[in-house]
Amino acid sequence: MSEAEVVNMPIAKAINEGLRRAMADNDRVILMGEDIGTLGGVFRVTDALQAEFGSARVLDTPLAESGIIGSAIGLAMNGYRPVCEIQFDGFIFPGFDQITSQLAKLTSRHDGLLNFPVVIRVPYGGHIGAVEHHQESPEAYFAHTPGLRLVSPSTANDAYWMIQQAIASNDPVMFFEPKAKYWAKGDVALEGEPLGLHKTRVARIGKDVTVVGHGAMVPVLLQAAQVAQSEGTSIEVLDLRSISPIDYDPILESVRKTGRLVVAQEAPGSVSVGSEIAATVAEKAFYSLQAPVLRVSGYDTPFPPAKLEGLYLPDADRVLEAVDRTLSY
Amino acid sequence: MPWVQDPQPVQFLTPDGDFAPNESAQAFAAELESLDLVALQEMYRDMALTRAFDTECTNLQRQGQLALWVPSVGQEGAQVGSARAALPQDHIFPSYREHAVARIRGVNLVNVVAQFRGVTHGGWDVTDPAHGNFHLYTLVIGSQALHATGFALSQVLDATKKAGEKDLPAGAQGRETNEATIVYFGDGATSQGDVNEAMIFAASYQTPQLFFVQNNKWAISVPVERQARTPIYRRAAGFGLKSIQIDGNDILASYAVSNRMLKDARAGGGPQFIEALTYRIGAHTTSDDPTKYRENEELLEWQAKDPIRRFEKYIKSQGAEDSFFEQVAADAGELALKIRDGVLHMPVPEPGAMFKHVYAEEHPVMQGQAAWLERYENSFEAGESA
């Protein structure tokens, strides 16, 4: 790959560029959401796209999440590929019925005769010091729902490619964007063959303990691995990328090597994505495990007021505490 | 003194079947000009056959052959009138009681029963042109209103693109689409957020759409007065929709007003709303007992307004002969037998079917679980033969 094809940009810009390219490639791709047009979204992820493609392809909708998802379903029935923006994680619930009881089930209800290629973009997670409902990680609700696909990029390169892959998918895809990392820059390879949408990625090679997470958790895990290295512990970091389905092969392969697994997430730990990974690894790699699989997560409380979020959100120290515990077996 | 003076609901036929258009009906009289005796007889046939089908399905449920049935008895006039006003290119989003509409649009009624037999959650191929763009039944009350609005929005986007334009400015007039979308729902559904959001989106984008509420007075056991303390059609006007209340048991009123509104919608007139005043003669579904929540006098009053009986009298006055009615009765009996036979011989899906279309694209969990179930099932067969 030539250097000219690699551009350094923030994650928000990478998604913007991915959307632009998907829209240019296919005129059935449309964007819909609150404030995404003239404003370019509250995080500016859709910046300048309405000016470029017109207000009939970048639709500022009325302020109603169920309305956005429900009408996206109707648009998909006529061959459109709507990309919906939910302004903040905690605002997705007015659309919950349309996502879980309608969108997720419609392919099956139609015996596969109609496709529902709807993408739902959800800026999610904490670390931005915001008010209630603006820092949540609701992905487990949707990972529990058959018929949906869930992904979350942690790098600019993945953000650029995965949004395009999500739009190209003929299934509904929920695209969880780590909003705290919108401004984190990374190299984006504008050409070439991207990793599959539902593949787990080895973000750092190690041999003593495997840690796995997604979205904004990944940089925290990498930071923890860095610190651990200085203390003589080699951590392998896996970037989940796909929350549903989960690509278990790289996780199992890593656990067979390290014998230890820590699963980290911002969401509350009970009945979570981390719980599912722990159960599956216990089932499929039981004889490789040297210690119980440990979860590091938010507490089973509502997301706390911003002044307490530093205590709630797993940081490198909490990850390392779990790493130490797993090594103590 | 009421805050708003409601006009009379549009009515052409009195409950006794006399053609006596009221004042509200005058403006729509021209819509009936194209209906000759052949067309009128076809509409009668639609209602009569649907009722026979419906009665047979209730029997099948009572005999344990269906888990549930959703009767439409009493609402045939509202349904047939509006469905006969739709053009082939229009799309229709039903709730789950629009059996007459399904039949008119070309769906095999046996397939309508399939989900109540427990063999599918759908039942027909909505992409097959023979099915008249009649979409699947939706059981979460009012959810389909948003799907319809999204579909109608796609009709706007298609027309916008065709016109070589790329913008949909806020506050813009509607655009000619030459096709429309109809959504059916009931009085209970008007309390749902989705129906209200659908009207908001429809008004915002001026979709070519007809919202058709069959106000049958009862949402299972709850009277319409618990849902709305204004006539429902007035609410739609508040969203900026053109809205009219009709006598829903008058098939001519349903046809005439639907025809006018659909033409207007296709021509860019924006979303429209009809409140059809009708009555659910039977239960909400075969699972409830209406005698527990409503008075017999009310039932008798509405039975006297039956849409089929009044239309029968009318078309007789227009020249329909006894032989026609005899033929319809024979066809209705034949349809009922066909339905019974179709239901009793409906194949049960293969076990693997539940995994097959959860996703459009390959999915490792579905593949894994389907394979596991197959092995599990086969393990019993192996055990038997051993």
Q: Which residues of B touch A103 (CB under 8 A)?
A: none
The answer to whether residue B125 neighbours chain A at the CB level (below 8 Å) is yes
Phi first, then psi, for residue A298 (nearest 5°) are -65, 165
Please indicate whether, in this complex, the C-beta atoms of B166 and A56 are within 8 angstroms of each other: yes
pLDDT score, position B5: 85
Residue numbers of the domain that contains B359:
351-386
Give just the sign of the alpha carbon dihedral B300, B301, B306, B312: positive
Please indicate whether, in this complex, the C-beta atoms of A67 and B168 are within 8 angstroms of each other: no
The answer to whether residue B237 neighbours chain A at the CB level (below 8 Å) is no
pLDDT score, position B76: 98
Domain count, chain B: 2
Q: What is the mean pLDDT of residues A95-101?
A: 98
Residue at B10 is within a domain: no
- For B314-351, write each residue's pLDDT tens digit: 999 999 999 999 999 999 999 999 999 999 999 999 99
Same domain (yes/no): B35, B138: yes
Nearest one of B94, B359, B326 to B211, comparing CA atoms: B94
Nearest CA in chain A to B354: A108
pLDDT score, position B1: 56
Same domain (yes/no): B263, B186: yes
Same domain (yes/no): B332, B371: no
Q: What is the mean pLDDT of residues A271-300?
A: 98
Same domain (yes/no): B121, B156: yes
Same domain (yes/no): B311, B219: yes
Please indicate whether, in this complex, the C-beta atoms of A107 and B170 are within 8 angstroms of each other: no
Rounded CA gap, B82 and B101, in Å? 8
Residue B365: CB atoms within 10 A of its CB come to 14
Whether the per-residue pLDDT at A1 is higher than 80: the answer is: no
Catalytic residues of A: 134
Residue at B210 is within a domain: yes
CB B286 within 8 A of CB B347: no
What stretch of H or E contains B316? Answer: helix B307-317
The answer to whether residue B16 neighbours chain A at the CB level (below 8 Å) is no
pLDDT score, position B384: 56
Q: What is the mean pLDDT of residues A286-315?
A: 98
Same domain (yes/no): B358, B291: no
Same domain (yes/no): B266, B359: no
Residue at B170 is within a domain: yes
Tokens of A36: 């995404």
- For B251-283, write each residue's pLDDT tens digit: 999 999 999 999 999 999 999 999 999 999 999
**A61, A109, A251, best to mutate vs chain B, most B CBs in 10 Å:** A109
Residue among A53, A77, A107 minimizing CB distance to B147:
A77
pLDDT score, position B92: 98
Please indicate whether, in this complex, the C-beta atoms of A73 and B146 are within 8 angstroms of each other: yes
Q: Which residues of A touch B142 (CB under 8 A)?
A: none
What stretch of H or E contains A294? Answer: strand A294-298
Per-position DSSP letters for A172-217, written without gaps between them: -EEEEEEGGGTT-EEEEESSS-PPPTT--EEEE--SSEEEEE-TTH
Please indicate whether, in this complex, the C-beta atoms of A111 and B167 are within 8 angstroms of each other: no
- Which residues of chain B carry a pLDDT beneath 70? 1-3, 382-386
Nearest CA in chain B to A53: B166
Please indicate whether, in this complex, the C-beta atoms of B140 and A105 are within 8 angstroms of each other: no
Q: How far is CA A217 from CA A180, A260, A265, B374, B376, in A?
A: 10, 18, 6, 39, 39
**B157, B350, B367, best to mutate vs chain A, most A CBs in 10 Å:** B157
Whether the per-residue pLDDT at A206 is higher than 60: the answer is: yes
Please indicate whether, in this complex, the C-beta atoms of A62 and B204 are within 8 angstroms of each other: yes
Q: Which residues of B touch A148 (CB under 8 A)?
A: none
Residue at B11 is within a domain: no
Domains of chain A by start residue, with CATH: 7-189 (3.40.50.970), 201-327 (3.40.50.920)
pLDDT band at A72 (very low <50, low <70, confident <90, very high): very high
Same domain (yes/no): B213, B355: no
Residue at B12 is within a domain: no
Contacts of A243 (CB under 8 A, 6+ apart): A139, A143, A150, A151, A152, A176, A214, A273
Please indicate whether, in this complex, the C-beta atoms of A169 and B143 are within 8 angstroms of each other: no
State how far Cα A96 lies from the chain centre. Answer: 18
Residue at B2 is within a domain: no
Residue at B273 is within a domain: yes
Same domain (yes/no): B275, B188: yes
CA distance A112 to chain B (A): 5
Residue among B194, B200, B364 minimizing CB distance to A245:
B364
Size of interface A-B (CB pairs under 8 A): 146
Residue at B103 is within a domain: yes
**B359, B366, B369, best to mutate vs chain A, most A CBs in 10 Å:** B359
Rounded CA gap, B248 and A300, in Å? 53
pLDDT score, position A168: 98
Residue among A73, A146, A171 minimizing CB distance to B147:
A73
The verdict on ipTM greater than 0.90 is: yes
Same domain (yes/no): B309, B383: no
CA distance A49 to chain B (A): 12
Same domain (yes/no): B261, B136: yes
Residue among B136, B151, B158 minimizing CB distance to A110:
B136
The answer to whether residue B155 neighbours chain A at the CB level (below 8 Å) is yes
Same domain (yes/no): B122, B225: yes
Return the CATH number at B298.
Answer: 3.40.50.970
